[in-house]
Structure 1
């Protein structure tokens, strides 16, 4: 009877030790206290549940199951109570330590319990990230509309819309997305999951929770979510009008800067804090969290670079090129591990592809000029639209001269500067386009029936080209003073041809016989009549010709006056001598003053 009482007493002591001892160390301490109190409570007697082979009895498992049961079955977040969180982590530590020394079949049961603990830790981990300020996902949430008073559905839709963030100009800061306490708790959970062999699951839980935050942050910058498949994004971009894409590209440039300079570096910093000492999990978590939003940004840029290379797209594509180029040095340090390095590779590939697109746009500009019909000359020999388009385009493009120099220098070798001559890859490209344009204009000039009007057309367009170069410091540097001198020489040649085909023809009939003999009066009268006809026909025709540049218009009038007036005055003087003074004026239709006035009324500034 006494023996049965003693066994019962020992069993009670053993139960007390197990119940009060949350860890193996605490239980051993309690056993030692009991042994010192009474030899019957020796460690050997009270720890009899441990067998000689190191396995654990069903009674011990019953104690472990009871210890975890209240945590694993709770509908409330364990981390809502710091004492519960500490107790649960201690219990997990004990279980992880025990599993290492167990043999089947006890190991199977312990692994099953460990699996349940890890699943709960994973849930708690995700909850701490998604609800860092204490809103537990385990607490029931009323269904949408439960407390609704029937508000208008439009108001609900407005509330659901994601507000667009204001512009960011300073990228030198980081975002602390989680409070320090949450970071510390996440770190403790991460350590246990890694120790139990669940590091990849922990990284996955992190990435699922943080990816939503990053994607929403990108959306707040005005970038709408698209499918990540290359074909889907490419097809959608191709079907979108360019005017809409321009607005999205402007937002994309800002999103690239915010994403790669602020959001992703802040995410890297958060991973390093949560997974301190666990670099493999830290790298994997960061890569999985950033993968989708980063690919979204890069795939959109790739879709833009893959489609139409119309010249008007140059400026937005150049903005994209500069945005990616400027963040790449930071990406080399940001995406430096084996899990995220591919993002840096894709960014570099996009940078190069955008550069190729820019070069392709200049090739398309060349083709556009060549395809412009040679017969499409403008009335009056004025400025052709293709000239205005190309020169204004080049001038605007050269505002990004440094970027274009970099893009055109595809091999990165550069070309030695030669004074007064286009020498850089960009200068050579611009000079070539100008030559193509000049050749197109000369072909168009042949469409005019009057040779003089062809010359006026070439002078108009040549002067415009030269003036645009002179007005642009960047174009002047690229083309060089030698090009300007060559263009001025061309203009002088066209001017000379214009004079020969018009005013030289008019004044040819006014020449007096150089022999010194006085012409017959009838001959003089006939010459005067021919002059009047030629002069009036010329003035009538050229009064409708266009000379757009005011200075060129004044120069052409002055040249005409310089050719006609001296010859006309000499002829009138000789004519009056032959006709007998004032009697000769009866046949003079135009006085010298009237002829000069008519010439100074020639040409209009625009059609």
Structure 2
């Protein structure tokens, strides 16, 4: 495009109204001794425009150099824009008759002076009003709908009264919002005037430099920066990378809700008159910052070391992009911004692939776990604690995991025991794939528990171990999102299994005590026979109690249920026998050696059971909340 001093008549936009070209030819008004109509028009227009334009020439007076036209007198600023537009129209009209007129040269000189003034005003408004034009303020006080409505109400034409315009715009908005809208309107007035007179490049250069710096600075302040080389990222400690990911998660939320949204609103409004200009303008301003933002997850996935605990940060990033996807598509909707949308989608795909790999590795590590550690007292195995914490945290991401795992086939339902399901047991209502995934992981854990239970020499303790660990799993399921994924039927069936394990423990662990009291209650007994029953009970109870006193049941409900159940099997029978035959023994010498336990003593001994050899410590380890760490039992 020619420089300002060499601009041609092609600059004059045909969209501005001029005298109708179908009107009688201006040549009929022209004669050598009489100026043409177009000359009269441009003479009159120059006469009206020159005083105001030269007054605000920044190179003529100190006043014009240091004073802002739009801040000094907004009414005069409106008139300034008006005379510039009129002068441009007059030049266009006169050029159709005489393209080499000296008047055009004079008019063009005035246009150049006016454009220098408007460039200065445009820069000052953008610079001074950063607080009112920051994306947060714009996205808070405006929306594309309200901006559109505001525009259609008045079009901010130069002939509108400023005060009326502000009144219309600000009836339902605050004073701060009102001021921001006035500033935006001033920018639009200047931009449309400069673009219509052929000074598009000068206008956009100022706007792009000023606004791009705001985007780039905001992205940097949000803690997002272009990561170093792949090798440096690979060597970065996870704690450092974790902090960078947290910054990124916050940055995406702020950037999409505020930063890019506000900037898009502003550019759409200021350059509303030209779709191509507002597209190129917003794209150039936002592209670098957006690419830096959305390329971050891909770089993390490509270059970070893989480990199970990192899957939650990957899920956080995946969730963030998914939640903001509608905003990404709406904000970066231009064709020239397809590279931004493509980068966001690429990061989403790479995150999904990495998450699938991490979950597969977790499943494999669970399947391969083969420790033979025996938990004293049949307590909760560390594998169960770590694995359930991990699975519970995964369940919090069940929605996005459904998307991520949707294409990969879950374990066939036939590979899971029929009794295992409670979510959906019919073909008409199949269990969701994501529910099958979690069911499969917990089933693997069940199988590992069965294997570990076999390492106990005491079969009763093995059943208590299974009851304890299954109870722990059920409690964790009930208190997490797994409850909704696995369903009440699933939980009820597992609680039924817990009861069976508990009954087997009671039967095998306490049968000797129960059997020691077996006799015909209606048969008469000699003192010797009574002594034998008491001695049998004493021996059996002491032996079993000593063996079972090392057992631990961390869950208070299961602990109480077991104690009540055992007591019901022993105490009523023993109390009846004790009350019936106590007097017989008390007549004998050394009766205290025969009757060693009163019913109350038996009850107290039973009430002290299942706290383990050390009452503190056992429960604290199993009541801990989930943490985002690698399951220690799987390392």
Q: Which band: TM-score by shorter chain?
A: 0.5 to 0.7
For the pair shown, the structure with the greater C-alpha radius of gyration is: 1
**CA RMSD, 1 decimal:** 5.6
Q: Find the aligned partners of 1:238 and 1:337 in 2 and give their Cα distance.
A: 39
1:468 aligns with 2:473: no
Deviation of the 1:304 alpha carbon: 4.6
Q: Is the Cα contact below 8 Å between 1:455 and 1:498 reproduced in 2?
A: yes
Deviation of the 1:424 alpha carbon: 1.1
Q: Is the Cα contact below 8 Å between 1:380 and 1:544 reproduced in 2?
A: yes
Q: Find the aligned partners of 1:127 and 1:236 in 2 and give their Cα distance.
A: 50
Q: Find the aligned partners of 1:212 and 1:533 in 2 and give their Cα distance.
A: 87
Partner residue in 2 for 1:458: 466
Partner residue in 1 for 2:265: 266
1:430 aligns with 2:429: no
Q: Find the aligned partners of 1:169 and 1:178 in 2 and give their Cα distance.
A: 15
Number of aligned residue pairs: 496
Partner residue in 1 for 2:379: 382
Partner residue in 2 for 1:180: 185
Q: Find the aligned partners of 2:576 and 2:284 in 1 and give their Cα distance.
A: 94
Give the 5 Å matches for 1:573-588.
582=588, 585=591, 587-588=593-594
Partner residue in 1 for 2:73: none
1:68-95 superposed Cα distances (whole Å, 9 cap, x missing partner): xx999999989978889959x969x89x
Q: Pick from 593, 603, 606 the counterpart of residue 610 of structure 2.
A: 603
Deviation of the 1:290 alpha carbon: 0.8
Give the 5 Å matches for 1:217-228.
217-219=218-220, 222-227=221-226
Q: Pick from 333, 336, 339 the counterpart of residue 336 of structure 1.
A: 333
Q: Is the Cα contact below 8 Å between 1:431 and 1:479 reproduced in 2?
A: yes
5+ residue gaps, structure 1: 1-22, 44-69, 103-113, 136-162
Q: Find the aligned partners of 1:471 and 1:228 in 2 and give their Cα distance.
A: 40
Q: Is the Cα contact below 8 Å between 2:332 and 2:340 reproduced in 1?
A: yes
1:192–1:388 CA distance, 2 compared to 1 (3 A) = same
Q: Is the Cα contact below 8 Å between 2:439 and 2:486 reproduced in 1?
A: yes
Q: Is the Cα contact below 8 Å between 2:215 and 2:289 reproduced in 1?
A: yes
Q: Pick from 282, 285, 290 the counterpart of residue 281 of structure 2.
A: 285
More divergent stretch after superposition (234-243 vs 495-504): 234-243
For residue 383 of structure 1, give the secondary structure of its aligned residue in structure 2. coil
Q: Is the Cα contact below 8 Å between 2:424 and 2:431 reproduced in 1?
A: yes
Deviation of the 1:538 alpha carbon: 2.5
Q: Find the aligned partners of 1:334 and 1:598 in 2 and give their Cα distance.
A: 71
1:294-337 superposed Cα distances (whole Å, 9 cap, x missing partner): 11221233345554665555655444434322332243343333
1:189-211 superposed Cα distances (whole Å, 9 cap, x missing partner): 345558xxx86x97666433321
Give the 5 Å matches for 1:364-383.
364-367=361-364, 369-370=366-367, 374-383=371-380
Give the 5 Å matches for 1:98-497.
130-132=123-125, 172=143, 179-191=184-196, 206-219=207-220, 222-227=221-226, 231=230, 240-241=239-240, 244-245=243-244, 247-259=246-258, 262-270=261-269, 272-273=271-272, 276-277=273-274, 279-306=275-302, 307=304, 312-313=309-310, 317-367=314-364, 369-370=366-367, 374-395=371-392, 397-399=394-396, 401-410=398-407, 418=424, 423-472=431-480, 474-497=481-504
1:407–1:267 CA distance, 2 compared to 1 (3 A) = farther
TM-score by length of 2: 0.61
Deviation of the 1:547 alpha carbon: 0.9
Deviation of the 1:491 alpha carbon: 1.4
For residue 36 of structure 1, give the secondary structure of its aligned residue in structure 2. coil
For residue 241 of structure 1, give the secondary structure of its aligned residue in structure 2. helix
Question: Looking at both structures, which has the greater relative contact order when contacts are Cα pairs under 8 Å and sequence separation is at least 6?
Answer: 2
1:587–1:552 CA distance, 2 compared to 1 (3 A) = same
Q: Find the aligned partners of 1:396 and 1:256 in 2 and give their Cα distance.
A: 27
Q: Is the Cα contact below 8 Å between 2:531 and 2:585 reproduced in 1?
A: no
Q: Is the Cα contact below 8 Å between 1:256 and 1:324 reproduced in 2?
A: no
TM-score by length of 1: 0.63
1:480–1:398 CA distance, 2 compared to 1 (3 A) = same
Q: Is the Cα contact below 8 Å between 1:383 and 1:457 reproduced in 2?
A: yes
